Amino acid sequence: MSGKRALPLAGIALAAATCLGMVIAGADLSLALGVAVIWLGSLWLTLPAPEAEGPRINAEQASRDATREMIESLSQPLLVLEDTRITLANAAAREALGAHILGQDARIALRHPDAMRLLEMGADEGWGDSVTITGFTGGRSLWQLTRRRIDKKRWLIELSDRTAEADISRAHTDFVANASHELRTPLAAIIGYVETLAEGGAALDEATRTRFHEVVLREARRMQSLVEDLMSLSHVEAEKHDRPTEPIDLTKLTARVVGEVASIHGRDRLVTIFPDDDANVLGEVSQLEQLLRNLIDNALKYGDPAKPVAIRVSHALSGATTLTIADRGPGIAPEHLPHLTRRFYRTDPGRSRAAGGTGLGLAIVKHIVERHRATLDIASTVGEGTTFTVCFPPMPAAPASQLS
């Protein structure tokens, strides 16, 4: 019994007791009854008036509309089913599956054996049953569908797009497999040559032994470069959200790196074009040095050895600072250009390995560029050569004393 109905009953009981008391006390019965009726009437007037039916229905409707609006705006695709009919599909669900699904039987709308299995699970089966479906929205897409009970007739179906997570995990697995393969190759060579030297080295002539030692040293250096590049890559990747804050004069830094490279490869193949004034960018010295070294090394490695590599720092009208490294040589075919910054991607694996390449140089460059909020452009013409352009955003003015 509700509180609102208990109050009049208590009032009636009290009125009856009052009436009885008055009669026992010798009052006239009609007077006692009159007092009881007046008392009950005033009690009735003080009771809260019952709500009208209309406003209650309106409040329920408003709450349903608010819930519907909230579900509609959620970024996760959601369906509400009544038995198996789709009675609500929010905007994200309509975008993923098409607007036509509204009102359809979910078994037809979702049309996948695993989705069907989820829909046909017994009504009493676990709360939050889910299935993972490959190719649900085509291609390599991967979705997780979860069914939750709302009430006796209605179900909520949550659709979670797991494609990006699956891609990341696949890329991770591929990377580990590639890195292991790259390390295993020189390691196998080292073990093979060292075993031969240990077991039958005495029987080999001096020239052969020297050649074997050279191979062991070369392969060990290859492993060392690979390990160093793997460490650099993981370092820049870990810091990618953290923009460097140090003001650096790119002209001075480039001149220093060119000097170091020239001391190994000779000055003849390097031409520099620098602006008269400072070319300041916000950066991290060691990473910018690595970017310069990787791009200059590649230009020397893959460019025509008889032609110079041009290294230029310049100011763009927008206030940006631009670094270009251009070689003249065989160039790169257009179909390779979009993939060059992928880890271990090589247009000519034999040539890259023979030149001591790890296949990670441009992947490292790409991450350094991203961390510096810069852009990387690769332009190449087969038979003419390749130009790498890094464009650094303008930086706020910094005190000259802070420039390195």
Residues that bind ligand ADP (CB under 6 A): 294, 298-299, 302-303, 327, 332, 340, 345-348, 352, 357-363, 386
Q: For the CB of residue 235, give the shortest distance to ligand ADP in the complex, in Å.
A: 16
Cβ atoms 116, 136 nearer than 8 A: no
Tokens (6 digits) for 381 = 């013409």
Cβ atoms 80, 150 nearer than 8 A: yes
Beta carbon nearer to ligand ADP, 322 or 386: 386
Tell me the sheet residues that pair with 160.
Answer: 144
DSSP-assigned letter for residue 306: T
Q: For the CB of residue 358, give the shortest distance to ligand ADP in the complex, in Å.
A: 5
Q: For the CB of residue 327, give the shortest distance to ligand ADP in the complex, in Å.
A: 5
Tokens (6 digits) for 187 = 């390691």
Beta carbon nearer to ligand ADP, 112 or 346: 346
Beta carbon nearer to ligand ADP, 143 or 302: 302
Burial profile 330-351: b = 16 or more Cβ within 10 angstroms, e = fewer? bbbeeeeeeebbbbbbbeeeee
Q: For the CB of residue 218, give the shortest distance to ligand ADP in the complex, in Å.
A: 15
Q: For the CB of residue 362, give the shortest distance to ligand ADP in the complex, in Å.
A: 3
Q: For the CB of residue 188, give the shortest distance to ligand ADP in the complex, in Å.
A: 20
Q: For the CB of residue 199, give the shortest distance to ligand ADP in the complex, in Å.
A: 34
Measure the CA–CA gap between 246 and 250, rounded to whole angstroms. 12
Beta carbon nearer to ligand ADP, 209 or 235: 235
Beta carbon nearer to ligand ADP, 324 or 386: 386
Instruction: List the strands of the sheet with 142-149, edge to edge.
Output: 85-89, 78-82, 154-161, 142-149, 129-134
Q: For the CB of residue 303, give the shortest distance to ligand ADP in the complex, in Å.
A: 6
Measure the CA–CA gap between 214 and 121, rounded to whole angstroms. 67
Beta carbon nearer to ligand ADP, 280 or 358: 358
**Four-residue CA torsion sign, 116, 119, 123, 125:** positive
Q: For the CB of residue 376, give the shortest distance to ligand ADP in the complex, in Å.
A: 12
Beta carbon nearer to ligand ADP, 147 or 367: 367
Beta carbon nearer to ligand ADP, 186 or 361: 361
Measure the CA–CA gap between 325 and 146, rounded to whole angstroms. 53
Cβ atoms 337, 378 nearer than 8 A: yes
DSSP-assigned letter for residue 139: T
Beta carbon nearer to ligand ADP, 89 or 368: 368
Annotate 313-376 with DSSP letters as a single string: EEE-TTS-EEEEEEEESS---GGGGGGTTSTT--SSHHHHHHTT--S-HHHHHHHHHHHTT-EE
**Four-residue CA torsion sign, 80, 84, 86, 87:** negative
Run of H or E including 122: none
Beta carbon nearer to ligand ADP, 23 or 378: 378
Measure the CA–CA gap between 353 and 172, rounded to whole angstroms. 23
Cβ atoms 125, 105 nearer than 8 A: no
Burial profile 190-215: b = 16 or more Cβ within 10 angstroms, e = fewer? beebeeebeeeeeeeeeeeeeebeee
Beta carbon nearer to ligand ADP, 109 or 360: 360
Q: For the CB of residue 324, give the shortest distance to ligand ADP in the complex, in Å.
A: 12
